[in-house]
Chain A
């Protein structure tokens, strides 16, 4: 299937978009995300570990966008099934979860004692 999948954004994703992505780059990013088809999904790897394996990772520039394919959300981490966004009869959509800067977190510096830094 080459048709782009419908996309939903969580509030977390929306907040991240406003705070982490420069205004002039947002449309570009959203355009890319809106063009992902079901065939494209296999290019985006799942994270590892039991806690995170349902999320897929999409990289653009220095950003990591986590998303789930609605089918995964409905059947995997959403037990008991209560997600209003997932229609059991229509699970062909992407759910954009969050955005982070990749590897901007850890600084190998004695004066900065945090593993993350914005």
Chain B
């Protein structure tokens, strides 16, 4: 069986950027995702799968950066001094609106976080996190966690009330939608249908 990819994380990243008018760097994005995971953790809900550890600049998972770079490389985000949505981002988000309705518990929470913190800088959001007396799995302040210790690990949510998890139909759909080569090939295949470029089996 092929390795399963956490497309759920990419969807959440793109949803976030679709709402962030001013874009964001990896620090800001990681902090917003941390706050989302923190809120969901207390509800025993699994959203993103980032393992947020204590880094010198706040809670972070290196895969946040990898995902943003990959999404940019493939045209789903643009990058100058920070990351921004582009027209491909919004088209993708519109295309999978039904998925957001099915998982509204995650995206409604993300909407609230964006409304509260979306205009703030990464540093300010980090300061907010540092000021919280209890965060994460061990319910202690950020500075009481050891360096590189996991603050939130979604894998530690046992028997979650809800989990953002793509079923087979959605998984296949997202895999194609997030792959420009596959999508382009499919469009050419549709043209084959329309002009009758068939072979009988």
A contact residues vs B (CB 8 Å cutoff): 6-14, 16, 30, 33-34, 45-52, 55, 57, 62, 64, 66, 68, 73, 77-78, 82-86, 95-98, 100-106, 108-110, 113-116
Contacts and interface: CB of A to CB of B under 8 A. Distances in A.
A103 B2 contact: yes
Nearest to B67: A108
Contacts of B172: 47, 57, 64, 102
Contacts, number: 140
Nearest to A33: B201
A57 B186 CA distance: 13
Interface string B1-22: 1111101000000000000000
B181 A116 contact: yes
A116 B2 contact: no
B98 A48 contact: yes
A48 B102 CA distance: 12
Interface stretch (B122-130, B132-140, B189-197): B189-197
A105 B185 CA distance: 15
Classify the interface of chain B: helix, strand, loop or mixed: helix
Contact of B199 (A14, A51, A52, A108): A14
Interface of B: 1-5, 7, 62-63, 65-66, 69-71, 73-74, 95-96, 98-99, 168-170, 172-173, 175-182, 185-186, 188-190, 192-201
A64 B53 CA distance: 36
A118 to B, nearest CB: 9
Contact of A83 (B2, B177, B188, B196): B196
A95 B73 contact: no
Contacts of A116: 74, 179-182
B179 A48 contact: no
Contacts of A98: 182, 185-186, 189
Given A34-B201, A103-B2, A97 B98 contact: no
Contact of A12 (B74, B98, B192): B192
Nearest to A10: B192
B176 A47 contact: yes
Given A12-B188, A14-B199, A109-B66, A115 B74 contact: yes
Nearest to A81: B194
Nearest to A115: B74
A50 B96 CA distance: 8
A98 to B, nearest CB: 5
Given A12-B185, A103-B175, A49 B193 contact: no
Given A108-B63, A110-B66, A62 B179 contact: no
A9 B197 CA distance: 8
Given A49-B173, A52-B173, A12 B182 contact: no
Given A49-B96, A110-B66, A73 B193 contact: yes
